[in-house]
């Protein structure tokens, strides 16, 4: 497959791995931020290609996984209301709240529909004018433009029966939070290429400078990730801490101005709770006052706290890169994709799901 197979070539992968081995002289710990990268690392067993001196940790790079319990509980509450059609991406249906998930509501007759775009929700709302329609708007900077466009379109069309439960989060503040942790041992970062395709690379410059850490914007195929690791290790060995862009075929320094403009028009920066981490200042997006009518939390007021259901689950430690999924006593036993204890086992981008699917359970 053109432009895909080229980035999965085993011969080239081993050549890059050899270059990493030749330049590394001491132990380094790197973290990839994106769950898509985590899955590629597990699927192609990239850790086995690397020298023992290189250790990879997995960050909070899955928006499904970091959606707080309180918002899942709010989604469950809204979806259970009479006369409501609740729309969501499929991953969210099995994310556990404090007592149940959206799939449980659906099994009891709740009108919950899986959509593939927020624009699908607008059509559902137009086709069902007698119903209240709610869309679960989650994601990093990558989904924010599409969600913002749907919200703007709803307002332009004068739609009154649609609202959005917003759980948009921003990556750089979370990165700084992890690097500030006393348990942090990360020495180099692989930044998510799709986030940077929207936002550019400039917002990582102060992080690299202030924390003296190399940051390499990286794609999602095996060769992308290996090359990103090589560039990161090369910086570490040379004592540099700069932002480099491995993903040149998709990312520009300034990002996508049109996408940034629609985000800024509809959303404002707010504090946001991250599941397993806690509240992070300026790490979320909320609706501006001019779009407050479309805020589902205002249409369906309810309050829940962020207590986790399972004491066995260590997904918070996994999301912070402190533990790996297979270090959890419940992994592959009481916690599986069929009966997940935590969000990291549910999502297609979750680290626990990646390990369960691609790594043997010991």
Residues of the chain scoring pLDDT < 50: none
pLDDT of amino acid 263: 98
pLDDT of amino acid 38: 94
Whether pTM exceeds 0.95 = no
CA distance linking residue 318 with residue 330, whole number of Å = 13
Structure tokens at 28: 């380094």
pLDDT of amino acid 278: 92
Q: Which residue has the tokens 């790996």?
A: 324
Domains of the chain: 1-311 (3.40.50.11740), 315-357 (no CATH)
> Which positions ≥6 away from 344 have C-beta within 8 Å?
62, 65, 315, 318, 319, 325, 350, 351, 352, 353
| Among candidate residues 329, 309, 306, the one with its CA nearest the CA of residue 318 | 329
Regarding beta strands 132-139 and 267-274, do their DSSP bridges make them parallel or antiparallel, or are they unpaired? Answer: unpaired
> Which positions ≥6 away from 341 have C-beta within 8 Å?
96, 309, 310, 312, 313, 315, 330, 334, 335
Element (H, E) at 274: strand 267-274
CA distance linking residue 322 with residue 182, whole number of Å = 11
Structure tokens at 342: 């935590």
pLDDT of amino acid 168: 97
pLDDT of amino acid 225: 97
pLDDT of amino acid 346: 87
The pLDDT tens digits of the residues spanning 310-325 come to: 578 898 899 999 999 9
pLDDT of amino acid 129: 97
310: left (phi over 0), alpha (psi -120 to 50) or beta: beta
Structure tokens at 348: 């297609």
């Amino acid at each position: 497959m053109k432009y895909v197979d080229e980035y999965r070539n085993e011969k080239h992968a081993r050549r890059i791995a050899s270059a990493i081995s030749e330049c590394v002289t001491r132990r380094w710990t790197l973290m990839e931020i994106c769950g898509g990268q985590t899955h590629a690392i597990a699927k192609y067993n990239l850790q086995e290609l690397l020298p023992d001196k290189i250790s990879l940790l997995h960050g909070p790079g899955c928006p499904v996984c970091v959606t707080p319990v309180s918002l899942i509980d709010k989604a469950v509450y809204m979806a259970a209301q009479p006369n409501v059609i609740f729309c969501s991406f499929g991953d969210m249906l099995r994310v556990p709240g404090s007592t149940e998930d959206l799939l449980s509501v659906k099994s009891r007759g709740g009108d919950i529909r899986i959509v593939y775009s927020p624009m699908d929700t607008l059509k559902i709302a137009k086709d069902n004018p007698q119903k209240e329609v709610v869309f679960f708007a989650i994601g990093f900077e990558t989904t924010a433009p599409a969600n913002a466009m749907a919200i703007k379109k709803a307002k332009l069309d004068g739609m009154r029966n649609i609202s959005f439960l917003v759980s948009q989060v921003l990556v750089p503040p979370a990165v700084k939070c992890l690097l500030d942790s006393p348990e942090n041992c990360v020495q180099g970062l692989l930044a998510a290429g799709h986030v940077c395709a929207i936002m550019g690379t400039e917002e990582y410059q102060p992080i690299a400078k202030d924390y003296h850490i190399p940051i390499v914007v990286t794609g999602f195929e095996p060769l992308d990730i290996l090359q990103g690791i090589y560039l990161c290790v090369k910086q570490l060995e040379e004592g540099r801490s700069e932002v480099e862009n491995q993903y040149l075929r998709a990312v520009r320094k300034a990002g996508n101005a049109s996408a940034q403009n629609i985000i800024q028009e509809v959303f404002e920066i707010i504090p946001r709770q991250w599941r397993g981490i806690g509240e992070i200042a300026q790490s979320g997006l909320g609706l501006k006052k001019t779009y407050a009518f479309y805020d589902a939390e205002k249409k369906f007021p309810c309050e829940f706290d962020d207590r986790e259901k399972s004491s066995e689950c260590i997904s918070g430690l996994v999301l912070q890169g402190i533990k790996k999924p297979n270090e959890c006593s419940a992994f592959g036993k009481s916690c599986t994709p069929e009966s997940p204890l935590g969000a990291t086992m549910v999502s297609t981008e979750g680290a626990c799901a990646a390990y369960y699917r691609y790594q043997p359970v010991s």
